[in-house]
Structure 1
């Protein structure tokens, strides 16, 4: 009797190992991860599958997939437009390959005739945003990751309430995890003042929702025919007046047809949170500038990685220069390979990071992967404090990208992000000048500097780097 029980117990344990192996082979994108978990599951019966179930399964991705599958029947037609096979008009020869990458991955054409204006820190961005809210007659759509209590939040709440009082359709979308950055949340009172308020996947115990890794990191504001986007939250820390420890950042005012794409992005997020999808208004065709732009929406729950693929594609297409500015730099193996390849073929690749980071463990982990980039000809600078939260990309004198996404696993695998491609020499030059100014103030990091790290510091950096997919 016991022999039969023992036989079936052994059979069940080995079957469990093969179930874990099958799941790893079918779901892991990195063959090294699939191989590692396969070996672990087979060599450690019972223990290996339990370890895989605890640490190997991406619960955030699985949760996102389930959410997206439930959401799919509710989504309107404009959520999944047909793939455009070619642009509506001629595309300059120097951007053909870069234009096609974004078109294929986003299923959207470039908008033509946009004006993009950089706004530095909250001192420039907030007054422009408040002015647009105060002037709005039809719509005010605001989405932000963080909406911290303070003078800035009060000003925005007053402007939003006033717009709702005069009959404007005012909607506010705040991230469920981002709201926890502030104990006081004055924006919650807006629901009693005619503002439609929604929270993106708020953490709660009943009914349970603890998907704290699924965050809406997008920042955008649409006021009729004027839009804003970039990486800036709403918080007093973005104001420089009388402060030494403020947060540096750049936001952008957008005018022209690209505002229609920003509006579409907001309405999709609003429908995701509320289950109520509004009709997409007729497109605006009024040109306001010379830029060609396109919105990139990225998030977990699908097999596509548009932002990561576009980053890699654009860098691989670069022939002269690549400038990157980001607060968090823990790129994937594919992005590291693209940067290395660019440096090795003679492209001037420059990366600017903050010398003082608000996430010290990310700062330490970055040091572990820098040697492989520096050895390939990539150059890295650290700009002095205060902490710079800015996310910018400028390539070959014509292409640039702005938005909410950092160059790390959280942004490229877990967060819901929104970036904008800009095809325009003037816009590129303004972004490149901002990056170059930081380079001129900063200190270049060399392989010699990294070799001077003591053994304890190198071990510390490597330990943080091991956990970089989860930072």
Structure 2
């Protein structure tokens, strides 16, 4: 009798999990995959679905942040949220600007801020000294969020500066990802606790009760200094970003120092995440200071994640590629675009838009590189240009459209960033910045190897099988 009872319970569990996937998965391919897994792998299939397939973040966010936080007041196309215009004549003259701005404003529900200055910092060799300098000068607050916080020489320098800032009376807070913290040992949280630096962990893993959020990570990188200065990009904290190009060691990346009104938008993002992790009350919408203008760049912060921000990045990238007139430049370490993005690139290339995709020739995650090679033919056959950048490994994440638009931040062009991770990107309208980054692209392309369709087609059968198998699991890489 007990045996039949166990069999009955297992069957009920299998069918309940399969039914949940049937009702709540929006992609039919994903729904089919989970249904088959749940029905054909008794017990293990439903457990995997419970751990990896169910999005509980939206419900938890509503409880901790409150519904008004998640459903922001929709901003009218001509308003900055306070009733004033923010589409200056010089920006309105840019071809396609109004359509581009309307798309991202609708997606983000955040206004475009004017009067920002931007400095490009290459690798940790340039970025870390400037970040530490600004931490040492901070008077009001220092908020740091990072996915990986190594505890080598660089990490300990940051911890020392954060501790000194706290002792000066500065409001210091550090947000660590619960999984990313394990990339270094000893963990950064132990050092921060020892120095009495306030910190929180984003969805840390636990065994009892078993954490169902292990696949949903906070990948955002930002350093907020007071109300007027922020750093963002793809760079974590660690010695790995100190690059020796002669020896092809280290990890290349691009970091950005932004000064101006956009800093308050990023500060708001950090405080939302802090409230989510700690349960502390969120202070609410911050008033825009009137004296933060320091440049001529127009910027907007856009959050991406499996909560209310699901699919924002995919829609934004697809829309911007569709609006491109002359060129689209993409640099990313992990390139596994969705079918919608592939379609947008194919159509843009057929329209005569020059599309350049720069990828690392040697990836720190070989299986991602193999999976990417399995899908490159889909864009190569339509004229998209793909280049393999030589070592050291490039972790840079850049997206440029024509001569005016740049998207920077923590997001890669892969399923993890598009659907699973909490990411933050900043869109920038600035001819000067795009010109600088275009020169950076061209310099990298000049030293890269172009990938031809014949290169992909000439892979051996064993290599094709390996690449195809990795691609099959690409939604979870």
Q: Normalised by the size of structure 2, how large is the TM-score?
A: 0.89
Q: 1:86 maps to which residue?
A: 77
Within-5 A mapping of 1:53-202 = 53=46, 59-73=52-66, 77=68, 80-87=71-78, 88-90=85-87, 91-93=91-93, 94=95, 95-202=97-204
Which consecutive residues of structure 1, in runs of 5 or more, have no partner in the other structure? 1-5
Residues 207, 24 of structure 1: alpha-carbon distance in 2 compared, 3 angstrom cutoff: closer
Residues 425, 358 of structure 1: alpha-carbon distance in 2 compared, 3 angstrom cutoff: same
The offset of 1:193, in angstroms, is 3.5
Cα-to-partner distance string for 1:179-225 (whole Å, 9 max, x where unaligned): 10111135533334442111111112234325321111000001112
2 CA distance for matches of 1:131 and 1:404?
22
Q: 1:246 maps to which residue?
A: 250
Question: SS of the counterpart of 2:376?
Answer: helix
Question: SS of the counterpart of 2:174?
Answer: strand
Preserved contact between residue 52 and residue 214 of structure 2 (Cα < 8 Å) = no
The alignment status of 1:267 with 2:264, answered yes or no, reads: no
2 CA distance for matches of 1:127 and 1:14?
59
The offset of 1:323, in angstroms, is 0.3
Cα-to-partner distance string for 1:266-321 (whole Å, 9 max, x where unaligned): 10111111111342543223211111111111111347311111011111111110
Residues 427, 303 of structure 1: alpha-carbon distance in 2 compared, 3 angstrom cutoff: closer
Q: 2:288 maps to which residue?
A: 283
2 CA distance for matches of 1:223 and 1:155?
17
Question: SS of the counterpart of 2:26?
Answer: coil
The offset of 1:334, in angstroms, is 1.1
1 CA distance for matches of 2:326 and 2:86?
26
The offset of 1:52, in angstroms, is 6.2
Preserved contact between residue 70 and residue 308 of structure 2 (Cα < 8 Å) = no
The offset of 1:29, in angstroms, is 2.1
The offset of 1:72, in angstroms, is 4.2
Which consecutive residues of structure 2, in runs of 5 or more, have no partner in the other structure? 79-84
Preserved contact between residue 14 and residue 43 of structure 2 (Cα < 8 Å) = no
The offset of 1:15, in angstroms, is 8.8
Worse-matched range after superposition: 121-130 or 185-194:
185-194
1 CA distance for matches of 2:128 and 2:44?
48
The offset of 1:451, in angstroms, is 1.8
Worse-matched range after superposition: 425-434 or 319-328:
425-434
Residues 59, 70 of structure 1: alpha-carbon distance in 2 compared, 3 angstrom cutoff: farther
Question: SS of the counterpart of 1:438?
Answer: helix
Question: SS of the counterpart of 1:221?
Answer: strand
1 CA distance for matches of 2:200 and 2:354?
44
Query: Which of 218, 231, 234 does residue 228 from structure 1 map onto?
Result: 231
Worse-matched range after superposition: 202-211 or 105-114:
202-211
Q: Matched residue pairs, number?
A: 460
The offset of 1:32, in angstroms, is 3.8
Question: SS of the counterpart of 1:394?
Answer: strand
The offset of 1:56, in angstroms, is 5.9
Question: SS of the counterpart of 1:265?
Answer: helix
Preserved contact between residue 221 and residue 236 of structure 2 (Cα < 8 Å) = yes
Q: 2:208 maps to which residue?
A: 206
Question: SS of the counterpart of 2:363?
Answer: coil
Preserved contact between residue 188 and residue 197 of structure 1 (Cα < 8 Å) = no
Within-5 A mapping of 1:318-357 = 318-357=324-363
Q: 1:446 maps to which residue?
A: 452
Preserved contact between residue 20 and residue 49 of structure 1 (Cα < 8 Å) = no
Residues 58, 84 of structure 1: alpha-carbon distance in 2 compared, 3 angstrom cutoff: farther
1 CA distance for matches of 2:205 and 2:11?
37
The alignment status of 1:30 with 2:31, answered yes or no, reads: no
The alignment status of 1:403 with 2:409, answered yes or no, reads: yes
Residues 459, 52 of structure 1: alpha-carbon distance in 2 compared, 3 angstrom cutoff: same
Residues 234, 450 of structure 1: alpha-carbon distance in 2 compared, 3 angstrom cutoff: same
Cα-to-partner distance string for 1:126-184 (whole Å, 9 max, x where unaligned): 01100100000010001111110111111111111111111100111111111101111
Worse-matched range after superposition: 272-281 or 349-358:
272-281
Question: SS of the counterpart of 2:394?
Answer: coil
After superposition, the CA RMSD in angstroms is: 2.8
